[in-house]
Structure formats: structure tokens, C-alpha cells
Amino acid sequence: MNTKRKWQLFFLFLLFILFILTSCASSPTPTKETISLEQKIKETESSKKVNAMNEKIMMSTLSSRRAFYRDYKIGPQDLLEISVFEVEKLNKIVRVSSQGNINLPLLGILKVKGLTTEELEKEIRNLLAEKYIRDPQVNVLIKEYRNQRISVMGAVKNPGVFDVTGTKTILDMLAIAGGLRDDAGQLLFLLRPPKLEEETSKGERGVDELKPETFVIDLEGLLVESNLKLNLPLHHGDVINIPVSGKVFVGGEVKSPGGFMKGKKLTLSQAIIVAGGLNFNANGSETKIFRYLEKGTDKEVLTFNVYAIQKGNDEDPYLKENDIIIVPKSGVKTFLSGVRETFRAAFGLGKFSFGM
């Protein structure tokens, strides 16, 4: 082979090496900047989902206003304006008593608590038609709705204690609180204090009336799937709490129930300790974990024996984000009645059977 041919081959070899080096340089390994960009995209998608939920909150609130005024149930301290066409002496503005009654000329004391204005109009019309007036025209207007104080806590834009009038729902209060923050978790906890003595009659007042209640609402089911069965009406003194994503909730017979930040390796027994430990009357052998599955809003219920875990006889399971831990009272009947009502709203009003 002559010298010229050798130089040609050498030159082609150099071009090939240069091409390889250039190709490698154009496909760099992932850098911190690339990873950071992917994280930002992920956060943006999460933010879009929350924004969509917030838009749903606002739209649902606007569309439900007319229905609210139509279906509103009269309650204590509401101010009613009652008028009867062409019978001026029957026209009256009355305040509903704490027992839910009003006093009207000719008719005396009427129980109006729990009635809509349409239902009260019909009742007054029938009573007047029986003895006094032929075909009376009755109109009932609520001039002042009773005040209620409802608290909204956690991952909302404007948390606080709100003085509101009339019946409000979860969607109403989320709108008043400015909607969800980007770090909002998937669950909403509605904490309801025991009923006051004046809210129940002596015959109606039972053991359950003295207990606080906790309802667990799936926000995706409420806001994305539009399951309005989860849009519960609220009572005076209710507290709405939306934990940030990554928390677990411990409730039932523990000393300090609530939502707690989950570490990377938080176990069931550790969560019980964080919640202050078990109460004296707890049935730790029937501790339940309500867990969201990875796809959709389906849930599973897992049962663990905390006593056996504490003794080292059973494995201590690791918790997942948004796990709900409930420690029942000792006794199967107490557990069935308490937990069924507590989670009736959370699981589609009867989606789960708590039979044992």
C-alpha cells in the first residue's frame, strides 16, 4: 500500500472518532437541572389539578345558591316575616325561639323548626282555612338567618373562623376559605362537636348526642367526580380540616387524635405513639387502617392487633400517605355503631360493610 493511500485511511479514521465524540457530547447524562425541570413539571401538573378543584368549588357554590334558599330549613333564632293577604292583623315579624317555635295570632304556638318556608306557608294556610279564612294567601319570608360559626383549617388559602348565616355546605365553606392550596391532601376531615342541650329534647337526647363526630370526605370524589352526597350540610361549631399531602390521620380511642406528618418509615405503632397512645377502653386488637388504593378512589380496610405488635408477636406495618387509622372502643357493638356513622360519608354513604 502506497503512502498516499495510508494517509487517506488515517484521515477517515480521524473523522470517525470525531463523529463518535460529537454524538456522545450531544446526549449528556441527566443533570440536576434536568431533574429539577422534571420536578417543576410534576408540581405544575399537581397545581393544575388543585386549580381545577378550586374552579369546581366556585361553580358548585354559585349553582347551589337558589337551591339553598328554596330548601333551607328554619331553625332557632331565624327572623320570619309572615303575611296573610288582606288580613293585616295576621301580618307579623317573629323570631323563632330556641325551642324552634313561633307564636301567631289566632293560631297560637307553632313548631316551625326543620320546616322550609313553603312547608310553613302550607301549614298556616291549612290551619286558617279550617276555622277562620276561606282560601287564605300566606307568604313566609326569612328576613334573618341564624348565625353560625364554622372553622376551616389546614391546606386552604384563607384558613380561619367564619361567621356565616344560613345553612352552609362543605363546598360553600371551601369557597369562602379561598379554595385549596397546592399542597392539599386528598382527604377532608369534618369534626362535629356534640349537640348542645337546647338542640335536642330530653326524650331525643341519647349517648350519641354527647359524642363528637368525625366525617372523612374524599376530595377527589367530591370535586372531580361531583359526588354531591359528600357535600354535607354544616352545623354551628363544625371544624373543617384539610391536612397537607403526606399526612396520616389517627382517630378513635387514642389520647390525641388528629392528622400527623408521615415520615419515610412511619409504622402503625409509631403513629399510635404520636397520637398519645391508646385510651383505657380502646380495643387495640381490632385497629383498622382505611387505605386508598393506587388507582382511583377505591379503598381497602386492613385490621391489625396493636397489642401483638407492641409485644413483638406481629409485624409492625409501614403506613402510606393518607392512611386513616381508627382504634375502636372495646366491644363489637360499639365499634360497629361508631365507625359506621363516622365513615358513612367518606365511603359513599354505605360503600363499605363493617360486618365482622
Averaged in consecutive runs of 10 residues, what is the pLDDT profile of the chain (356 residues)? 61 59 48 48 57 64 55 84 86 91 91 90 91 88 81 90 84 93 85 60 50 78 86 87 82 82 78 90 89 63 92 90 84 52 47 35
CB 278 within 8 A of CB 292: no
Residues 6+ apart with CB under 8 A from 266: 248, 274, 318, 319
The neighbour count for residue 54, using CB atoms within 10 Å, is 20
Quick one: cell of 18? 470525531
Beta bridge partners of residue 83, listed in sequence order: 139
Amino acid at 163: D
Total residues belonging to the chain:
356
Determine the pLDDT at residue 198: 41
Determine the pLDDT at residue 334: 52
DSSP 109-138: EEE-TT--HHHHHHHHHHHHHHHT-SS--E
Determine the pLDDT at residue 348: 45
- Distance between CA atoms of 158 and 70, rounded to whole angstroms? 29
* Edge-to-edge strand ranges of the sheet holding 92-95: 92-95, 79-84, 138-144
State pTM to two decimals: 0.50
- The contacts found for 65-69 with CB under 8 angstroms, 24 or more apart, are 68/166, 68/167
Beta bridge partners of residue 154, listed in sequence order: 242
Amino acid at 292: Y
CB 355 within 8 A of CB 337: no
Quick one: cell of 293? 388504593
- Domains of the chain by range and CATH? 54-71+146-245 (3.10.560.10), 73-144 (3.30.1950.10), 246-356 (3.10.560.10)
- Distance between CA atoms of 249 and 305, rounded to whole angstroms? 18
CB 105 within 8 A of CB 121: no
Q: What is the DSSP letter of 158?
A: S
Give the pairing of strands 299-304 and 287-292. Answer: antiparallel
Determine the pLDDT at residue 159: 92
What is the number of H-type helices and E-type strands within the chain? 9, 15
